[in-house]
Each structure stands twice: as structure tokens, then as C-alpha cells.
A = this chain, B = another copy of it.
Amino acid sequence: MVFKEILPLHPKKLTHSMNNKIKFTPIGGVGQIGSNMALIETSSSRFIIDVGILFPYEDFFDINYLIPDMSNIGKIDALIITHGHEDHIGAITHFKEHYPKVPIHTPLFASKLMEKKLKERGLGLKFKIYKPFDQISIGDSLTVTPVPVDHSIPETYGLLITDKDSDTAFMYASDFKINNTENKDLEKAAETFNKFKNRVTLLDSTNITSSQDKAFTEEELYPDLKKVISESGGRVFITAFASNVERTQTINRICKELKRPMVMLGRSMKFYAQVGIETKHLKEHTKIHYEFGIIKPNDDRLVCMVSGCQGDFKSATRRIISGDDSKIKLSKDDVFIFSSKTIPGNEKKLSMLENTLSDIGCKIIKPGKLKIHASGHACREDLKVMYSIFKPNFVIPIHGESTFLDAHIDFVTEILPEALSIRILNQSSLVFSKDGKHEFIKNEKINPILIHGRDIEIERSSISERRKMACNGVILISVNKKSKSYKLRLQGLPKALDEKEQQLNEIIQSHLNFSKNSSDTDSSEDLRIKVRRVCRELLGYKPVTFVHIV
């Protein structure tokens, strides 16, 4: 059975009471990958799961990231963090500004990552650190139980959310994979879950369309990574997701066995390794270096882990490959390993870097025939295991783009035809009642908020102004009406326009001579139109033009 939210569907308000009901509202992360955030409410309590950021999905220029709009969420009793990835904790400073006093339940590892962000903004650092199977009570009838799951960052949890009043259990696991099909933790959680009338799973859709049936475990990567490193004739550079401390551990183990020095390059690689050591998730088999010194950058035994596996502009990976690093200059004897996958949208950036590596003559190693990257997200076989342990009668796919939600529903319809699969998008809600009924509520779509610079919101209208200037260039004319003097500036315009500068000057001069009687507003608008018209004749487009009469 399938219920799908499709467009257009008009907002619908829930009018009756929430007694003996529980409501789920995804605020981010459903119909998109990123900015994971969900609201769970009963008549007596409300809490949020995760506060993630979304990486720019179209050209917003230099913005940092996007966050879910939190202005209409209202009063809440708690925030529960599932794990420390940026798409789950990245908006913590913004959350803290909205909710300075709301308790934050979090695993230790994620708390260390949030601590850094909050410190930088001078915000409070109080956390309630939870452990596996702690019972977090929220309000009268809600209990949240953190269930350890496998993923690609230490201390990741699924949340078992139970509500006696509505006889409902949610198993919320936006990010997980299955390392061992016999999983005592999941079985323990399912024992509780399977007793409820409404059994709702909310599971990861990231890899539902993957060509791979089953996510690799970290352990499976060891042989190929060791082979590649041991066979390298020169230095080895490995870029990976810096938060994947297990990967760092694997490389460290290999370095120990091959007696090769290991150096971390790039700020995030260093930071996560240090948090890993502090929280005891990373054990140093051989010393991890953070600077060159005893270890020389041209040592041909060098193994470096490098931040920036997505080719980010400011990353160590890009700096090193582009030849802009002060210490590392790549040569044809070096090996560059991408122990990571390409996040959609970064394909071109990464292939450009690969071309540069190839022009230098470096050996490039990417996942494919070699097992050198393991995704942290469930493939279809992992999901099958999950759906065999938990017995839902309601299935809500989360953590995926719209097409992934559809694929997840198609998949579940096949393996669990008796469950009702529900396709819901951000901001809409689902209500489950004690009597086993459910209700779908369509809410207005709310755009995520763009954050730029020092964590400041930048409005879409300002981005649109930026876009106009970037696509059309800018002309500034300042006029002293009295003295008839003026200044003209062309910015971001082709040299070809310089040849027309004389013509522009004549227009301005003649305008100054003949517009004495019009108001400043009329006069400046009149001049603006004339200048834009001349430019358009030559360029085919009109520069953004400002005329200031002072």
C-alpha cells in the first residue's frame, strides 16, 4: 500500500485535538539530502531530532551553507542529536540562538564537535551525554531510546521513540548500515518496537538506488588499501571524509604494519583525528603527525591523509593538487587515493582535479574494482535486514532526494506489501492515533535559510542582486549636478566596452546639460536608462547601473 504526497497539494490544517496522538514533521532532509531535522509532538511534549545544514544545491555564490527555518517551530522540550555529521549538527549555533535553554541530548563524540562551533560563537556548552539504551523521557508519555547503529562516524544512533498514549513506536534511523546481520542492539530495540499498535520505521534512503546491494564494512577495505599503499613506489596521499575516524584508524594500522610515517594534512583531518583520540575512538598504532618536522614532506615513504575529498575550493586536497601548497609539490611518482565517493554536484570539480593529477603523471586510485571506500549508508540488503528485524505497519522513507523516496517506496512495496508506505516531504506532517488511524497534513513549503560569512542570514533577494551583478557587470555614475562634474566606473565589464566609454561620457555630459529642470529622481532614472540602452546595443545585455546625483 502506498500513499504519496505529490504536487500540487494544498495546505490542510489539523483542527481536532492531539490527545492520544503523535505527530511527525520532517523539517529538513526529506526530499533532499542534508539539513536533517524532524519534530515529534504529542499533546504534552515536543522535541527535535538533529539540526543539520544543507550544502548549497545551486549557485548561491560564496555562502557557507543553508539551514532549516526554525522561526515557526514554537516551544520545544529537547533536542536529540543522533550523530556528529554536519548534516545533523551543523546548525547547532543557530539552534542555540533560538533555543538557548533547551536541553541537548547527544552522544559524546558529537558533543565534542558541537562544542567547537558553540565556543567560536561564545554560546553555552551544556550537553546531556547519552549512552546506548538510556531512557530519555520527554513530557508525560514519550520515551526516546538511543540504539547504536553502524555508520561512518563514531557513536551513531538510531532512535526508538515510544509513546504509550498513542500506542505508537517510531524507529528513526536516518543514517545507518548493517555490519553484522546478527545485531543484538537492533533486536533488543525491535523487541520493544514490535509490541506497539502503530509501528513506524523512518529509515535511510541515501543508497536505495546504488548499484551496490550491500554497504561494505570498514574491515573489508583493509586488504585493498594495504595493497595499494604497499605497492606505491613513492608518497601516498589519501583523501577521505575527515569525520570518518575509522578510515583514519585503518590507514594508521596499515602505516604501522608497513613502517611508514603518517601525516594529517588539512584542518578538518587534524581536528577529527584529535577528537577521535580524545574520545578513544582512534587508537594510535603508530604515531600520527600533524606537522612536518622530523618527517620531511619529500620523504618517499610518506603516507598523508588529506582533507577535502569533495574538492572544495579551500581544501588541502585542492591546494596540493593545484600546486599551491607551500610544502607538498606533487610529482609523477606520487599516488593519490580517493578513499571516498563523489557527493552529487561535485563531479566536475573532482574530475578537474583528477585531470590535473593525470597531467602531473600521478597514479590515481579511486573506488571501483578496488574496495577502498565504504559508504556509511544502507544499501538495499542492509534495509532488508532492518525490515526483517523491525516489523512496521507504516514505512516512511527519509534521508533522500525525492526520487530516492520513490525508489525506497517501490522497494518496500515489494518486500513488505502489507505495510503502508508513505511518501512525505519536508514540513508536511503525519499523525498516528491510538486507534491505529493516521492522518496526513500538508503544510506550506518553507525555504531553507542561506547563511554567509560570520553565520549571518543572507536573504534570497540579496542573492538575486548578487546574481544580476555577476551576470551583467556594474556601472556606477556619480553626478555633482551643480558643478556638472561626474565620475563613471565600469566594473566586471568587458574591455570592448572601454571603447564605448567616450560615447558614455557624451551621454552623461549631454544629460547634465539638458536635465536641469527635472527632479533628481527623474534625472537619474533617465540617465540610467540611456546608459543601459547604449551598453545593450554593444553587449547584448544591460549592466546593473546606478546613478547617484549628489
B403 x A351 contact (CB < 8 A): yes
Residue in B7, B452, B469, B494 whose beta carbon sits within 8 Å of that of A452 in the complex: B494
Residue in B5, B6, B59, B476 whose beta carbon sits within 8 Å of that of A476 in the complex: B476
A462 to B494, alpha carbons, bound, how many Å? 6
B469 x A402 contact (CB < 8 A): no
State whether A496 and B456 are in contact (beta carbons under 8 Å apart), knowing that A351-B403, A355-B403, A403-B354 are contacts in the complex: yes
Residues of B contacting A6 in the complex (Cβ-Cβ under 8 angstroms): 332, 359-361
State whether A478 and B548 are in contact (beta carbons under 8 Å apart), knowing that A57-B352, A347-B345, A466-B469 are contacts in the complex: yes
Question: Is A16 in contact with chain B by the CB < 8 A criterion?
Answer: no
B406 x A358 contact (CB < 8 A): yes
Tell which of A4, A32, A457, A487 has the most Cβ of chain B within 10 Å. Answer: A487
A355 x B31 contact (CB < 8 A): yes
Residues of B contacting A345 in the complex (Cβ-Cβ under 8 angstroms): 347-348
Nearest B residue (CB) for A4: B361
Main secondary structure of the interface of A (DSSP, over half): mixed
The proximity string for A residues 369-385 relative to B, scoring 1 for CB distances below 8 Å and 0 otherwise, is: 00000000000000000
State whether A546 and B454 are in contact (beta carbons under 8 Å apart), knowing that A6-B359, A59-B59, A403-B351 are contacts in the complex: no
Q: Which of A463-486 contact B (CB under 8 A)?
A: 463, 465-467, 469-474, 476, 478-480, 482-483, 485-486
State whether A355 and B401 are in contact (beta carbons under 8 Å apart), knowing that A466-B470, A470-B61 are contacts in the complex: yes
Question: Is A320 in contact with chain B by the CB < 8 A criterion?
Answer: no
A441 to chain B, nearest CB (A): 17
Residues of B contacting A452 in the complex (Cβ-Cβ under 8 angstroms): 494, 539, 541
A454 x B355 contact (CB < 8 A): no
Cβ contacts A to B, 30 pairs, < 8 Å: A6-B359, A31-B355, A32-B355, A57-B348, A58-B352, A61-B471, A62-B472, A344-B348, A355-B401, A359-B425, A452-B541, A453-B539, A454-B538, A456-B496, A462-B473, A462-B493, A463-B492, A467-B470, A469-B470, A469-B491, A474-B474, A476-B478, A478-B487, A478-B550, A480-B480, A480-B482, A482-B482, A486-B550, A491-B546, A548-B548
Residues of B contacting A32 in the complex (Cβ-Cβ under 8 angstroms): 355
A494 x B456 contact (CB < 8 A): yes
Residues of B contacting A470 in the complex (Cβ-Cβ under 8 angstroms): 61-62, 466-467, 469-470
State whether A546 and B489 are in contact (beta carbons under 8 Å apart), knowing that A344-B348, A347-B347, A348-B344 are contacts in the complex: yes
A498 to chain B, nearest CB (A): 10
A327 to B496, alpha carbons, bound, how many Å? 40
The proximity string for A residues 349-367 relative to B, scoring 1 for CB distances below 8 Å and 0 otherwise, is: 1011011101111001000
Question: Is A184 in contact with chain B by the CB < 8 A criterion?
Answer: no
Question: Is A14 in contact with chain B by the CB < 8 A criterion?
Answer: no
A359 x B31 contact (CB < 8 A): yes
Residues of B contacting A352 in the complex (Cβ-Cβ under 8 angstroms): 57-58
